[in-house]
Amino acid sequence: MRILLCNDDGVLAPGLRALHRVLAERHTVIVCAPATECSAKSNCLTLHQPLKLEKHLIGDAVFHGLGGYPADAAKFGLQVLCKDHPPDLVVSGINNGLNTGQNVFYSGTVAAATEGTFAGIPAIALSMDASKEFLFDDAAEIALQIVEKRAELPLPAEILLNVNIPRLPASQIKGWKVSRMGVARFSESFTRRPSPDGGVWYWVDGSKDYHDPEPEHDDFQVHTGWVTISPLRMDLTAPDWTSALQGWNLTP
């Protein structure tokens, strides 16, 4: 299988390298990722300025680092590096941090995968609970199973698989569950501080409330020791409400 591998933690991130090591043993893997860490950039694109490409030799593999955002890197990989031989699958990760619930909308990891979905190519986003103890090797072995199983299933390309892995050794993970996207939300704060030029700076900080009480949600399941697989659609329409809105009787 031919795989385009992206991420948002940067081209030299340990999660990307661990995943590449495992995938490249059995598949052809093309790596294109942001040159630097680009978390929480969503589908941001670089406009009105050039993108610098750097190549890093990691063992026998060339890792392409693009001076842009995760979506830039995925698009570049698809349209330039894979122009003549499109990939069978786009894989993004392994992210150092969960992308459950509301995180999906901010995540550069998920965004890179969506670029595959937009191009009609099956895609998977892979994330692991943030940890100082890097368990990416265990997570990569889990990811390999999901990647190869995805290739066997007749899922339409417009279904993106968002996978989240607990911060646990593989031997302690309970198994996997198909999960709904959770509803846990962020709580942000803005701290006012003086800037060196006499002006004002605001530093943003925040945390996510992972106490999602719904047992079928990804937030709940990953924090109780399960790998979660959430099938996501790019169509965000809420069809249950279309009839109600049509009854508004608005005038031009």
**pTM given for the model:** 0.93
Looking at residue 247, its pLDDT comes to 85
Residue 165 lies in a domain: yes
The residues pairing with 95 across neighbouring beta strands, listed in sequence order, are: 127
Residues 6+ apart with CB under 8 A from 199: none
Number of domain units in the chain = 1
Q: Is 215 exposed, middle or buried (0-12, 13-18, 19+ CB in 10 A)?
A: exposed
Residue 190 lies in a domain: no
Q: What are phi and psi of 151, to 5 degrees?
A: -65, -25
Residue 144 lies in a domain: yes
Residue 29 lies in a domain: yes
Looking at residue 249, its pLDDT comes to 82
CATH of the domain at 79: 3.40.1210.10
pLDDT tens for each residue of 36-58: 999 999 999 999 999 999 999 99
Residue 164 lies in a domain: yes
Residue 46 lies in a domain: yes
Residue range(s) defining the domain that contains residue 31: 2-184+213-237
Label residue 251 by pLDDT band (50, 70, 90).
confident
| CA-based nearest residue to 30, from 71, 79, 68 | 79
Residue 195 lies in a domain: no
d(CA 66, CA 34): 5
Residue 245 lies in a domain: no
